[in-house]
Structure 1
Amino acid sequence: MLIEQNKRKVSENKQRHNTIYNLSVEAFDKSCLVYYKGTKGEPDYRRIHYCLTQTEFKQRNSLDGNNYRFIGNMALITIYEYWENSCRNLIAEYLSVKPCQVQSDIFGDLRWLRISILHHKGIALPEVERCKIFKWYKRNDAIFIDGDHMEEIVSSIKKSIHNLYKIKA
Structure 2
Amino acid sequence: MPPSRISLIALHVTFYAGFAVAGYWHLPFPFAQAFILAALLIWISVVDVERLEIPDVAASLLALTGGAFAYATGSNLIDAISAGIVWPLLFWIVGAGYGKLRGWQGLGFGDVKLMVGIGLWLGFAQTTLVVFTSALSGIAVIALTKLINRQSTADIGTTAVAFGPFLCLSTWVIWLF
Q: Quick check: TM above 0.5?
A: no
Asked which structure has the greater RCO (Cα within 8 Å, sep 6+), the reply is 2
TM-score (structure 1 length as normaliser):
0.30
TM-score (structure 2 length as normaliser):
0.29
**Whose helix proportion is higher, 1 or 2?**
2
**Whose strand proportion is higher, 1 or 2?**
1
